[in-house]
Structure 1
Amino acid sequence: MDSTPITINYVPDGDDWTITVDAGPESTTAHAPGLIAARDSADQIVEKILTGKKQRTVVHLLEGDAFAFTTAYLTARHGMTTSYSAGPAEAGAPDSAPTEAGTDPEEPASAAG
C-alpha cells in the first residue's frame, strides 16, 4: 500500500497561480487565473492521476506551507481580505496605539526618581 501523499504546491504568479502536482513518479504543472480556479484545476489533475487507483491523501501547499494555503484559500473562497505578512503576534495586536504611562486618566502616573 502506498501511503505517500499527493502534494500540490501553489505559487503566485501575479494574479495567476502555478500549480505543481507531485504524485511520486508522476508530476504535473498547470496554471490558473486565481486561487479558487487553481484549486479546481488541481482537483481535476488529482482525479486523472487517481483514476482506477485507491484514494490517497492530498496535501495542498502555498509555497510549501499547508497552513498558508488553507488561510489563503478560505480567505479567497469567502471573499475576505487579509495581509499575509502579519505574524501571529501582529494578528492579535490591538487596533489603537498604547498610551504612555501617566497620560491615561485611569492609569497611575509613576514618580520620577
Structure 2
Amino acid sequence: MADPIEVHYTPDGDDWSVVVMGRGQTLTGRAPGLIAARDRADQLVETIAPDEPGHKTVVHLLDGDAVEFTTAYLTARLAKTEPDKPDAPAAGETPEKAATTEAAAEPAREEPPKPRAESEVATPARQPAEAKEEPANSGS
C-alpha cells in the first residue's frame, strides 16, 4: 500500500489555503470557501497521482486533525443558504404588527370551503303548483 496523500487546509480570511503533500511532491492552492477548497484539493491530488490505479488514500486535515476537517466540511455542506424568518418581532414592533407584515408579504391563499352542518344546507324552494294551461280562444 502506498503512503497516504495528506491535504492540509488553512483558513485565510474568507478563502482557504490548501497544501497537498505526497509521492515526494508538495502542491498548493487557494479557494473561496471550504467546499471549493475540498474540490481544489481533489484536483491537486489528481496532479500528484494521475495514473495510480484503484483507490487513492487521501487524508484531509484541518489544524492537523481529520475529525476537525470532517466536522467543518459537513457543517459547510449542510449550512442553509437562505436566512430564516425571524421568530421574534423586530425591536419596537408589536406581535400584531409583525403578523400583519408577514401576512402582507405572503401571497393570498384561498381556503377550501368549510362543510356545512345539515341544518344549514339549503333546501330547494318549493315551486307553486303548475297552472293549468288553457287553450287560447282563436278569434271570433
TM-score by length of 1: 0.65
Matched with 2:76 is: 76
Amino acid paired to 1:65: D
Between the aligned partners of 1:63 and 1:19, the Cα distance in structure 2 is 12
- Please, what is the CA RMSD of the aligned residues? 1.3
Q: Deviations 1:61-92 (Å, cap 9, x if unpaired)?
A: 00211000000000000116xxxxxxxxxxxx
Between the aligned partners of 1:43 and 1:56, the Cα distance in structure 2 is 11
SS of the equivalent of 2:72 reads helix
TM-score by length of 2: 0.53
Deviation at 1:8, TM superposition (A): 0.2
Q: Which structure's CA Rg is the greater one?
A: 2
Which structure is richer in relative contact order (CA contacts within 8 A, separation 6 or more)? 1
Contact map agreement 2:23 2:49 (CA 8 A) in 1:
no
Structure 2: unaligned runs, 5 residues or longer = 81-140
Q: Does the alignment pair 1:41 with 2:40? A: yes
Q: Deviations 1:9-45 (Å, cap 9, x if unpaired)?
A: 0000111101000013111011111000000000111
SS of the equivalent of 1:4 reads coil
Structure 1: unaligned runs, 5 residues or longer = 81-113
Matched with 2:12 is: 13
Identical positions, percent? 56
- Post-superposition, which runs of at least 4 consecutive aligned residues in structure 1 deviate over 6 A? none
